[in-house]
Structure 1
Amino acid sequence: MNKIAKPAAEVDPITLQVIRGAFETIAEEMGHVLYRMSFSSIIRESQDLGAGLFDLNFNTLCESESTPMHIGSIPAYLRGIAETLEDGEWREGDVVVHNHPYYGSSHTPDLAIVVPVFLQGRLIGFAGNTAHHVDIGAATPGLIIDVPDVFAEGMLFAGTKLYRGGEPNGAIWNYIRRNSRAAQQLIADIEAQVASARLGARRFVELIERYGEETVFAAANQLMNYAERMMRQKIEAIPDGDYTAEGWLDDDGRNREQRLKVKVTVRVRGDGLEVDLTGSADQTPTAYNVPFEGSTKVAAYAAFRKLLLDTATSESRVPSNEGSFRPITVTAPLGSIYNPRFPASAEARFTQCNRMIDLIIRALAPVMPETVIAGSSASISFAAYSGVRPSGDYWVFLEVNEGAYGGRPRSDGPDSIDNLMANTRNNPLEDLAMHLPMICDRYELRDDMPAGAGEFRGGIGVVKAQRMLQPGFITHESERHTDAPWGIFGGTEGSVGRCTIRAADGTEREMPSKFSGLAVGEGEVMTYYSPNGGGYGDPLNRPALKVLDDVLDGFCSVERAREVYGVIVDTESETVDMLATEQARDRIRAAR
């Protein structure tokens, strides 16, 4: 077993827990200030953000309970800033903006704002956050997919100072204002990030002034070591071995007939493990690649926090910090979809990360049957709607649509919810109608295809239809139109996703899972159907009355209840014929 170094001084348990609570409160306050002060709905409503405190070695000391992809990536941002920092040194009052995917960022729309923390003139750490921005001047409004290289992704910042020694860098602020279609929102959201980071730095100093620098950092080290120890204990309980799973991505957003392979091998050795992506597709000529440091590695870390340190299933709550990352290494060949070579574009990277986590779960299912779940939608529907107002100004709206989880060891998969790497919130329809020339025609649970059958059925996805009230453009990034969420332990697979565009005259066409800068006219409607989750366990073990409930709720047809679950439902009396059901199930078992 790897040895964990002890800090120079042990902090007593009561003080340790007080400092732990203070760290967590600071991170939550930073996140709260950020989304409450922001103007764009992707931050204000969806809370596509993360915030935390970091030491001089770029270790995460605490993180807000927001989107996992943001928090785990900030140490990589800090390492990238260290390579590129303007002026070559930190000064009190500096504020840095950074988003370069080949210097640690998760992807370009996620701007990081970092503030150095000084104590009596000495640099002691950092306060930082990231948030997804509406538009940074890329080739298409809001989101990009079919572009040739990283330079088409919009403004690239690497260690760039927005403030030098407390004084604003006017040239950079003006550059930002003049290079975004949604400049007013972008500037306001960056200012919210600056306020959040400065608050975090101030709270960090206040904490140290109260308890002392040695005590606070000793506590931070103990908390990181504790998180590492707990993660190693969980890994050690997994039998040593190599566990592999494969899946397929639809296409790269341009070459429609070329599916992209994802192969995940989890190597467990003692109290450490490796996630190896060797065998996955080569990098693509579009933006459908994944930054290795800022996204690929972070997805692996998030996967095992979910599997092994989930708050709801753990006997004790483990702090969210750098320690949980240490036992995990990640391998992806240079030039692959998960580790592209510069200058390949890598903006549209989220669905690949979700499928990677989905396959980690699938690979470990044989040895962790009571921990894993069946296949989730494991995608994301990220849509950018945009247009030009009569005034000549652009409007841009980013929307994240929900998916569904797979069935679980003791319950059905949750319906219509972000899953795995995503946990952004939905945008209120009233907010949409008040500010944008769009209206939602339909927003409900999907009813055209069933969820995966099982003792615990898969979750049901969402269907959302958005109608344009004036001509505009749509870019849509989604997945899983060809590779259905998998069932497990006898459960059946779920349903693939769909996307359609309906013209004003009522004609409808099927769309691929990804498309860029599609021009649409007034009255045209985009409808997205997220994948339904896979089933967990033998459908014949599902209680007949639960099947009846699903039939009455419209989630399962009478025919499917009979053929897959062996349940005979009488919809007139809203009852189950229990004797006929027992006989039907016996026939199905015999036929197997």
Structure 2
Amino acid sequence: MDTATFAELGRLPGPPTRERVPVDPITMRVLTGAFRATAQEMAGVLFRMSYSSIIRESEDLGCGLFDHEGREICESESTPMHIGSLPWYIRGFMRRLKGKIREGDVIIHNHPYHGASHTPDIAVAVPVFFEGELLGFSAVTAHVLDVGGSFPGVNADAFDVYAEGKLYDGLRLYQGGELNEDLDRHLFENVRTEDMNRGDMNAMIASCELGRRRMVELCARYGVDTVMSSAYDLMDYSERMLRQEIEKLPDGEYTAPTAWLDDDARNRDVRLRVETKVIVEGGDISIDLTGSNAEVPTGYNVPYEGSLLVGAYFAIRTILLDEATFPEYVPQNEGVFRPVKVIAPKGTIFNPNFPRACFSRFCQVQRVVDNTILALADVLPEKVTAGNSAHVNFCSYSGFLEEQQQYWIYLEVNEGSYGGRFGKDGMDSVDNLMANTRNNPIEELDMRFPIRNEQYELRPEPAAPGRWRGGLGIVRRNRFLVDGTYSSEGDRHTDPPRGILGGWDGLTASLVKNPDGEAPEELPAKVTGAPFAAGELLQILGPNAAGYGNPLDRPPGDVREDVLDDFTSIELARDAYGVVIEPGTLEVDGPATEKLRAELRGRHADGNGSLIDHVSSNPSERRPNPISAASERAFSE
């Protein structure tokens, strides 16, 4: 097996060697918009044409244009994991195909030790030629339903990289415009969902062809030198803007509290350590994961290039160049990758040795992003959030269709929640950090699959207290109508989101089989091929994120509104916020509140609180807010 050495991993290409020409500001602005619009148009084609709901509804995809060495020119506004990994996919398959690429080729790739994010995220790339010159690639990635691993859909407990799915290492599905029919048969006859995979692959090819045409049209209209010079100048601009923000940080090392992942999907009750240090040196920033857990014998490892680096790029870009608050538009391209380095010793879960499986790598990367945010809380208090859900409950429901001799597989990404942030409460029931996928509508589930959704709403437990409270996760109940299997990769069943600057910690997640039955069964976050009989029910609880700032600083009127809206209870308003609310009138008792807050400030001057003592430890016994009925009466009056 020819794998890159550790020294080569993560090495960006040097400066482009193509001679540049001056580009006037107006043309530059026009091409900036054209690049961005092209990536968005590619994404639109992909999610509109795809067969599977994970692409069509959740938009678990990424699209963009890249130069011949994989430098990112532009990207769609979709899942960050897909987009940031595409440069590494391209560099991965170019190791094998360099010098063997022709116009009309369609390349597929998913090798996690050659740049892919993990095996189900298949990339399709089409070379972009103009007047005989290879300029680069129009490329997409998307999560396909099945890649032929040991279990349908999700394989958290895979033995090695071969067991997690089929490996496509720079294969040319089309060569010079001609379909490789043998490869086509091999691709789609060795997966459980042939029709769905084929439909999704055709959509990916169509998206790439659109991107290729748009790039060629730009070159024909403005000239290839102008187009490529603009692309490279924009990369330099984005790099300068990010370095400028990094340089505002004091040089030094900033360390996050140790985070703990639940287990490796096989060795239960053995938690995995995540250590994160952020190092600032001038205009460079490094994320050092030294001290994190050794690699594990399951699919719970992280591809270094295609997943870990992408998470680091996302974390720094999101904190320092937030598009919602930053005064200037900074294009997302190769330039924002250059100032960011990642240190992950070989042989750890964040830089495993071949042939370790890497199927279920998302939760670990989420925790690196969350830790990076927490590490910078003291130095950037107005730009960070409190601890986020920082997980992904990505699950697969499946069964076999006798009449079609194929499987049905339904992939579902269950939402998380954001921690409170300066000036705002945390967002509820929204996909979190690196994921950025949309939720699958319950109508999609009920109409197309033998499963029925019986509950889908915000968790009833209180939000984590803080000057700005944390967001709420979801509760979702799905019932099997036929015999089938359930698999998932998840986490955060043991380590709650961390409160910052006096905010309280959040709540952990849970999975419960038959929660209303005589013997409800708590399931671990990572499950592979768990059997469910027709009629059995699964309950999913997503984490509640953490609070930001001292809850005693939250205005009493805001606490009352939280009580009325079921974000907190009368008891927690008193214990955490020091706000006394009369149960009968639901009004704030001002003098009593002032007195209680003074007492609590003296008693709890330091340290964050925890919600654990305020809710039942048994998910099947957790009750809705006890003042819900009173709230309804108050509003009706």
TM-score range (shorter-chain normalised) is over 0.9
> Percent of counterpart pairs with the same letter?
51
* Match 1:558 to one of 564, 570, 582: 570
* Match 2:506 to one of 470, 480, 494: 494
Aligned to 2:612: none
Question: Amino acid of the residue matched to residue 529 of structure 2?
Answer: G
Q: d(CA) in 1 for partners of 2:206 and 2:530?
A: 36
Aligned to 2:176: 165
Q: Residue 67 of structure 2 contacts residue 73 of structure 2 at CA under 8 Å; is this kept in 1?
A: yes
1:14 Cα shift?
0.8
Q: d(CA) in 1 for partners of 2:68 and 2:16?
A: 19
Matched, 1:314 2:310: no
Aligned to 1:355: 367
Q: Which runs of 5+ in 2 are unaligned?
A: 1-13, 605-637
Which residues of 2 match residues 415-494 of structure 1 at below 5 A?
415-447=428-460, 449-494=461-506
Q: Residue 503 of structure 1 contacts residue 524 of structure 1 at CA under 8 Å; is this kept in 2?
A: no
1:546 Cα shift?
1.3
Q: d(CA) in 2 for partners of 1:325 and 1:121?
A: 30
DSSP-derived class of the 1:17 partner: helix
Aligned to 2:617: none
TM-score, normalised relative to structure 1 = 0.98
Q: d(CA) in 2 for partners of 1:352 and 1:227?
A: 28
DSSP-derived class of the 2:328 partner: coil
DSSP-derived class of the 2:378 partner: helix
Q: d(CA) in 2 for partners of 1:158 and 1:476?
A: 26
Aligned to 1:268: 280
Aligned to 2:411: 398
DSSP-derived class of the 1:394 partner: strand
Which stretch of structure 1 is more off in the superposition, 262-271 or 495-504? 495-504
Q: Residue 552 of structure 1 contacts residue 571 of structure 1 at CA under 8 Å; is this kept in 2?
A: no
Which residues of 2 match residues 96-495 of structure 1 at below 5 A?
96-245=107-256, 246-391=258-403, 392-447=405-460, 449-495=461-507
Which stretch of structure 1 is more off in the superposition, 190-199 or 383-392? 383-392
The superposition leaves residues 320-373 of structure 1 with CA deviations (integer Å, 9 ceiling, x where unpaired) of: 111011011111111100000000000100000000000001111111111111
Q: Residue 173 of structure 2 contacts residue 179 of structure 2 at CA under 8 Å; is this kept in 1?
A: yes
DSSP-derived class of the 1:239 partner: coil
TM-score, normalised relative to structure 2 = 0.91
The superposition leaves residues 396-437 of structure 1 with CA deviations (integer Å, 9 ceiling, x where unpaired) of: 000000010000011000000111111100111111111100
Matched, 1:537 2:549: yes
Question: Amino acid of the residue matched to residue 149 of structure 2?
Answer: A
DSSP-derived class of the 2:278 partner: strand
Question: Amino acid of the residue matched to residue 569 of structure 2?
Answer: S
Aligned to 2:22: 10
Q: d(CA) in 2 for partners of 1:590 and 1:3?
A: 58
Pair 1:29–1:511, CA change in 2 (3 A): same
The superposition leaves residues 455-493 of structure 1 with CA deviations (integer Å, 9 ceiling, x where unpaired) of: 000001111111100110000111111111000111110
Q: d(CA) in 1 for partners of 2:131 and 2:599?
A: 79
DSSP-derived class of the 1:228 partner: helix
Q: Residue 20 of structure 2 contacts residue 225 of structure 2 at CA under 8 Å; is this kept in 1?
A: no
Q: d(CA) in 2 for partners of 1:253 and 1:9?
A: 54
Which stretch of structure 1 is more off in the superposition, 572-581 or 375-384? 572-581
Question: Amino acid of the residue matched to residue 126 of structure 2?
Answer: V
Q: Residue 348 of structure 1 contacts residue 477 of structure 1 at CA under 8 Å; is this kept in 2?
A: yes
Q: d(CA) in 2 for partners of 1:30 and 1:307?
A: 27
1:451 Cα shift?
2.4
Aligned to 2:87: 75
Q: Residue 490 of structure 2 contacts residue 526 of structure 2 at CA under 8 Å; is this kept in 1?
A: yes
Which stretch of structure 1 is more off in the superposition, 120-129 or 110-119? 120-129
Q: Residue 194 of structure 2 contacts residue 406 of structure 2 at CA under 8 Å; is this kept in 1?
A: no
- Kindly tell me the number of residue pairs found equivalent between the two proteins: 589
Q: d(CA) in 2 for partners of 1:110 and 1:389?
A: 25
1:199 Cα shift?
0.7
Q: d(CA) in 1 for partners of 2:48 and 2:151?
A: 28
Pair 1:191–1:5, CA change in 2 (3 A): closer
1:505 Cα shift?
5.0
Q: d(CA) in 2 for partners of 1:539 and 1:7?
A: 58
Q: Which runs of 5+ in 1 are unaligned?
A: none
Pair 1:504–1:455, CA change in 2 (3 A): closer
* Match 1:517 to one of 526, 529, 549: 529
DSSP-derived class of the 2:101 partner: coil
Q: Residue 450 of structure 1 contacts residue 495 of structure 1 at CA under 8 Å; is this kept in 2?
A: no
Q: Residue 231 of structure 1 contacts residue 309 of structure 1 at CA under 8 Å; is this kept in 2?
A: yes
The superposition leaves residues 56-75 of structure 1 with CA deviations (integer Å, 9 ceiling, x where unpaired) of: 12110000000000000001
Question: Amino acid of the residue matched to residue 70 of structure 2?
Answer: F
Q: d(CA) in 1 for partners of 2:216 and 2:63?
A: 16
Q: Residue 69 of structure 2 contacts residue 90 of structure 2 at CA under 8 Å; is this kept in 1?
A: no
Q: d(CA) in 2 for partners of 1:463 and 1:5?
A: 53
Question: Amino acid of the residue matched to residue 197 of structure 1?
Answer: C
Question: Amino acid of the residue matched to residue 436 of structure 2?
Answer: N
Matched, 1:585 2:597: yes
**Runs of 4+ with deviation above 4 angstroms:** 2-7, 503-506
Q: d(CA) in 1 for partners of 2:454 and 2:126?
A: 43
Q: Residue 7 of structure 1 contacts residue 221 of structure 1 at CA under 8 Å; is this kept in 2?
A: no
Pair 1:358–1:37, CA change in 2 (3 A): same
Matched, 1:89 2:72: no
Q: Residue 450 of structure 1 contacts residue 494 of structure 1 at CA under 8 Å; is this kept in 2?
A: no
Which stretch of structure 1 is more off in the superposition, 172-181 or 530-539? 172-181
